[in-house]
């Protein structure tokens, strides 16, 4: 089934201990869409500027990602510059230029309206909510957010959470959102805010899924997926968005959303996150094959299973 | 098969967000022995002072732990005072009084000499090595260490590592020992130092086992065991030693050290670590039953397995 994703399509300049890359294709919606495209049809809603050329368009086209919802505006695309020199787990932001993204008004093409899955990548919760409300017929809605929205835009974010089935955030964001420093208790608080599933991403330690009690059609248990121990993390940018793309893309490819499907989706999230960090920007996701995806899934099984 | 463990038996005064406990029974050998006693026969080599009374002796006796190797010396037992007020993952030490432990000369009772498993808990590597060399007939030797020995007693520690089958340390210690900030590369360096298996403990994120290449009688693959997501961590003291006790105790209970046995041992390590932190000091390990141990093992399986 098709996923519509709304979020940023951007250019990133990135410095890591492995080197530097200038103005590579980036943005949450880009990583999400590429990762999800290995599993299902993906449709993107975003805005880009005149610097978005056929070179970037080709990346989406090669993955058969529907870009009719990517608006071309006068000006430059969203630009982010950051580094991970001291700590691979946390980016230091040097520059953020919103450019055409500053006046982003998501427009949903009619061709997207039959999407059964909706992913609200990390953007202003006011926009997330507007897109959510414009697509009342979707079957499953997932979303991401970040510390900035949690701290300074809480009321708008809480409204988004009420309309979400699944929220994917990291440890720090979970504790900040809940106001509780114990992850399990914090997860319980967040699950009272709307989502019936919370996926907490732990970076190099994997991710944990928490399910709301009494609404256990998707499995009543906690589930923990590992990350792949990697010899080299070249560029952590987009790991979380690639996790979300693998996770949600796999779900959208399933006929029935059984508890087992959610567990496997967690593994596919980890799989796509583990590939994303192997090269700069979207390079590894661009070169990736379905066979490699499934082989790594089996490696994750061996990494964690007793028998 | 019997395990001999050498290490500290001590008194701890501990403050955590959950409260404060003064002079409770502690020490690495104590936690290790209690955890391992659920799986096999355990024999302790340590030294205590006159403050070690029948009350503490009873704890060992109730778990059928052999204490003939616990020497009674004039003076006071090792005493540690610490807190975890800012960060449950890292103790802040307020007081360390070595007392009788300062002149500890491990003596191995003849009755211990047929032990097939030996655990060298975190003590001076000079003493670890002496005990290791006094028990040449053991089948499997595992050990622990800490940043202090890694930084300031490296030559002595490297000699210990050459005689170890399995080393259990945490992320920071692994990176420090190897001089490499990537965990996978660091693990490779440590496995060149002697051990054929390295267990890296990640605290609330579980633990990863790395196996030396070409010596894969114990399984050639990396294996990751989760930690249990807990609503409350009352006291993290002894979690790592309890992990080691569950891990090594389970191995010692097995007729054949198959790759599957090492995987299950990782889970039992996580199981015992997860219980240890539920109450202050050794309280939870003291009240624990075998049924609870096996029930939690099954919970770990559900937490991680796809099917």
Contact predicate A277/A260, CB 8 Å: no
Span A241-300, pLDDT tens digits: 999 999 999 999 999 999 999 999 999 999 999 999 999 999 999 999 999 999 999 999
pLDDT one-digit tens code per residue, B86-97: 888 889 999 999
Helix/strand/coil for B215: coil
Given a contact cutoff of 8 angstroms between Cβ atoms, the answer to whether B69 and B110 are in contact is: no
pLDDT of residue A56: 98
- The DSSP code for A307 is -
What is the SS3 assignment for B151-207? Answer: HHCHHHHHHHHHCCCEEEEEHHHHHHHHCCCCHHHHHHHHHCCCCCEEEEECHHHCE
Of B229, B231, B301, the CB nearest to A306: B301
Question: Per residue in B271-299, pLDDT tens?
Answer: 999 999 999 999 999 999 999 999 999 99
Q: Does A202 touch chain B (CB under 8 A)?
A: yes
pLDDT over 90 (residue B268): yes
pLDDT of the residue at A219: 40
Å between A225 CA and nearest CA of chain B: 7
Q: A221: distance to nearest CA of chain B, Å? A: 7
Nearest residue on chain B to A221, judged by CA atoms?
B303
Q: Kindly tell me if the per-residue pLDDT of B215 is higher than 50.
A: no
- Nearest CA of chain A to the CA of B271: how many Å? 14
Contact B7, B131 (CB under 8 A): no
- The tokens 């507007």 sit on which residue? A130
B26 in Cβ contact with B34 (< 8 Å):
no
Which residue in chain B is spatially nearest to A227 when comparing CA positions? B224
Nearest CA in chain A to B201: A205
Across chain A, where does the E strand assignment appear? 3-6, 10-16, 19-26, 42-48, 66-72, 78-83, 92-97, 117-120, 140-143, 166-170, 197-201, 207-211, 223-225
Of the candidates B285, B273, B236, the one whose C-alpha atom is nearest the C-alpha of residue B16 is B236
Q: Test A306 with B306 for CB contact under 8 angstroms.
A: no
DSSP 8-state class, residue B41: -
Q: 239-268 in B: which are within 8 Å (CB) of A?
A: 260, 263-264, 267
Do B132 and B118 meet the contact criterion of CB atoms below 8 Å apart?
A: yes
Burial of residue A137 (CB within 10 Å: 0-12, 13-18, 19+) is exposed
Q: Which of A185, A187, A304 sits opposite B304 (nearest CB)?
A: A304
> What tens digit of pLDDT does each residue of A18-63 get?
999 999 999 999 999 999 999 999 999 999 999 999 999 999 999 9
Task: From chain B, pick out residues whose CB is under 8 angstroms from the CB of A221.
Answer: 302-303
Tokens of B158: 């490297």
Q: What number is the average pLDDT over the span B155-166?
A: 97
Does the beta carbon of A171 lie under 8 angstroms from any beta carbon of chain B?
Answer: no
Cα A69 to its chain centre, rounded Å, is 18
Mean pLDDT of chain B, nearest integer: 95
Give B34-71 pLDDT, tens digit per residue: 999 999 999 999 999 999 999 999 999 999 999 999 99
Q: Which of B164, B180, B176 is nearest to B212 (CA)?
A: B164
ipTM of the complex in this document: 0.91
Is B180 in CB contact (< 8 Å) with chain A? Answer: no
Which residues of B fall within a CB distance of 8 Å from A232?
182, 185
**Chain B environment of A189 (Cβ under 8 Å):** none
Chain B interface, best mutation among A181, A182, A301, A307, by max B CB count within 10 A: A182
Chain B interface includes A139 (CB < 8 A): no
Predicted confidence at residue B232, as pLDDT, reads 86
Tally of CB atoms within 10 A around B17: 15
Note whether B305 contacts A303, CB cutoff 8 Å.
no
B75 has pLDDT over 80: yes
Partnered with residue A208 across adjacent β-strands are A200, A224
Q: What letter does residue A15 receive in the DSSP assignment?
A: E
- pLDDT score of A86: 80
Residue A6: is its pLDDT beyond 60?
yes
A185-229: per-residue pLDDT in tens? 999 999 999 999 999 999 999 999 999 864 443 344 799 999 999
Would you tell me how many other CB atoms lie within 10 Å of the CB of residue B124?
A: 17
Single out the residue of B159, B218, B237, B144 nearest to residue B194, CA to CA: B159
Question: Residue A208 has what DSSP assignment?
Answer: E
Alpha-carbon gap, residue A26 to A30, rounded angstroms: 6
User: What's the full length of chain A, in residues?
Assistant: 307
C-alpha separations of A294 from A254, A258, A270, B236 in Å: 15, 20, 12, 38
Helix (H) or strand (E) holding A27: none
Distances (CA, A) of B151 to B41, B93, B101, B155: 34, 18, 21, 10
Q: Is B43 helix (H, G, I), strand (E, B) or coil?
A: strand
Question: Among candidates B46, B76, B78, B74, which has minimal Cα distance to B60?
Answer: B46
A74 contact B CB<8A: no
Size of interface A-B (CB pairs under 8 A): 77
A307 touches chain B (CB under 8 A): yes
Q: Which residue has the tokens 């932001």?
A: A93
Q: What is the rounded distance in angstroms from the CA atom of residue A85 to the CA atom of residue A97?
A: 21
Is 0.90 surpassed by the pTM of this model?
A: yes
Give the ranges where A91-169 is alpha helix by DSSP (H): 125-134, 147-152, 154-162
Please name the residues in contact with B38: beta carbons below 8 A apart, sequence gap of 6 or more: B246, B249, B272, B288, B290, B293
pLDDT reported for residue A213 = 67
Task: Using a pLDDT cut of 70, give the percent of chain A over it.
Answer: 97
Instruction: Count CB-CB contacts under 10 A for residue B224.
Output: 25
Query: Do B260 and A224 count as a contact with CB atoms less than 8 A apart?
Result: no
Tokens of residue A63, six digits: 């993955």
CA pair distance A64, A42, nearest whole angstrom: 8
pLDDT digits (tens, 9 = 90+) for B110-120: 999 999 999 99
Mean pLDDT in residue range B153-179:
97
A114-118, A182-186, A209-213 — which one is most confidently predicted on average? A114-118
* A307 pLDDT more than 90: no
Q: Name the token pair of B115.
A: 């032990």
């Amino acid at each position: 089934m098709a996923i519509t994703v709304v979020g940023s399509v951007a250019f990133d300049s990135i410095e890591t201990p492995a080197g530097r890359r200038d103005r590579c294709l980036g943005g949450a919606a880009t990583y999400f869409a590429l990762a999800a495209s290995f599993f299902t049809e993906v449709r993107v809603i975003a805005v880009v500027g005149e610097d978005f050329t056929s070179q970037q368009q080709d990346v989406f086209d090669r993955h058969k990602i529907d870009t009719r919802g990517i608006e071309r505006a006068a000006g430059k695309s969203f630009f982010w510059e950051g580094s991970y020199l001291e700590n691979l787990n946390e980016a230091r932001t040097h520059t953020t230029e919103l450019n055409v993204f500053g006046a982003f008004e998501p427009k949903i093409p009619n061709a997207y309206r039959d999407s059964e899955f909706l992913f609200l990548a990390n953007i202003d919760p006011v926009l997330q909510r507007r897109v959510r409300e414009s697509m009342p017929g979707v079957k499953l809605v997932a979303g991401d957010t970040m510390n900035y929205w949690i701290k300074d835009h809480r009321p708008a974010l809480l409204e988004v959470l009420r309309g979400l089935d699944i929220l994917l955030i990291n440890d720090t964001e979970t504790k900040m959102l809940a106001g509780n420093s114990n992850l399990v208790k914090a997860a319980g608080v967040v699950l009272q805010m709307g989502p019936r599933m919370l996926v907490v991403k732990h970076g190099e330690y994997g991710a944990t899924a928490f399910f709301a009690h009494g609404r256990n059609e998707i499995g009543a248990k906690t589930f923990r997926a590992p990350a792949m121990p990697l010899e080299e993390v070249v560029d952590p940018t987009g790991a979380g968005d690639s996790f979300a793309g693998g996770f949600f893309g796999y779900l959208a490819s399933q006929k029935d959303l059984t508890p087992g499907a959610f567990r496997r989706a967690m593994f596919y999230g980890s799989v796509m996150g583990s590939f994303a960090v192997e090269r700069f920007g979207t390079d590894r996701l661009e070169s990736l094959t379905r066979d490699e995806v499934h082989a790594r899934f089996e490696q994750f099984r061996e990494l964690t299973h007793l028998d």
